[in-house]
Amino acid sequence: MEKLTPRVYFASDMHLGAPNREASLLREKKFVRWLDQIKSDATAVYIVGDLFDFWFEYKTVVPRGYVRLFGKLAELRDQDIPIYFLTGNHDLWMFGYFEEELNIPVYHQSIIREIGGKRFFIAHGDGLGPGDTKYKWLKKYFFTNRLCQWLLGAIHPNWAIGVANYFSHKSRLSNEEYEEKSAYDEETERLLQYALRKRAQQQVDYFIFGHRHLPMKKQLSPDSYYVNLGDWIKHFSYALFNGEDIELHFFEREQPPMCPSHANTDDRNEFSTPAS
């Protein structure tokens, strides 16, 4: 039976693999339970980056583990539930495995989707907004550089993945430090500022981001919203578009006390559009 009313799910920042196998396995099982729960009504699922704390696909090798996750994703795709993956800064080295083995499209840039008559701008969020110039330089000239990718692929996985995991851990700690300093600060929240500038250039009903690990829904204008999906480390949060509006939810936990003024609220406080 055809599903007429959209029920589209968005989630990001599971960081599977961190900080160790035991903790990661618990999160993996929890995320699999969530996928199993939503499969009965989902018309589409968007995984908006950093599913893994580190991921690099060699020509004939992929990182070990995550068999429960892959099995559940394959099950949903076999049931013709569309799944879309947008890479994040921790898993941007995807070169075809998801497409070939799971039939899941992978996007390395932001995408725009029309869903239920609403216009969605969807991106992980790394490198967007003001500041963060060091990471932007590294991403442009190192992380996405074909020669650098080839050199990393030429190193034995035991060495390459070990070194990459070290830097991935440092990157995550840096983001957590920035999160604590600027949490919900409208003046320093980079992705919120980016959405405001983008909204001034084109009509977007919902800006959907991950990356910042801060579950938040914020009204930018009478018909435009900024949504950050949070994470599956502290918040276990996700968003659901039900055909009329988008709401934040928290899986197997109550809404955390840090979010009451932002999650699922229409803040009428006007924002000024920042200068480009």
pLDDT in tens, 225-245: 999 999 999 999 999 999 999
Q: Above 80 in pLDDT, residue 40? A: yes
Buried b (16+ CB within 10 A) or exposed e, 89-111: bbbbbbeebbeeebebebbeebb
Instruction: For residue 8, give Cα distances in angstroms to 49, 62, 245.
Output: 16, 29, 11
Task: Please give the DSSP secondary-structure letter assigned to residue 65.
Answer: -
| Between 262 and 198, the higher pLDDT residue | 198
CATH level 3 topology of 8-250 = Purple Acid Phosphatase; chain A, domain 2 (3.60.21)
What average pLDDT does the structure give for the chain? 82
pLDDT band at 267 (very low <50, low <70, confident <90, very high): very low
Residue 231 · residue 15 · CB < 8 Å: yes
111 half-sphere exposure, CB direction, 13 A CA radius:
15
pLDDT band at 19 (very low <50, low <70, confident <90, very high): confident
**pTM of the prediction?**
0.82
Closest CA to 250 of 229, 269, 219, 275: 229
pLDDT band at 254 (very low <50, low <70, confident <90, very high): confident
Kindly list the domain boundaries of the chain, sorted by start residue.
8-250
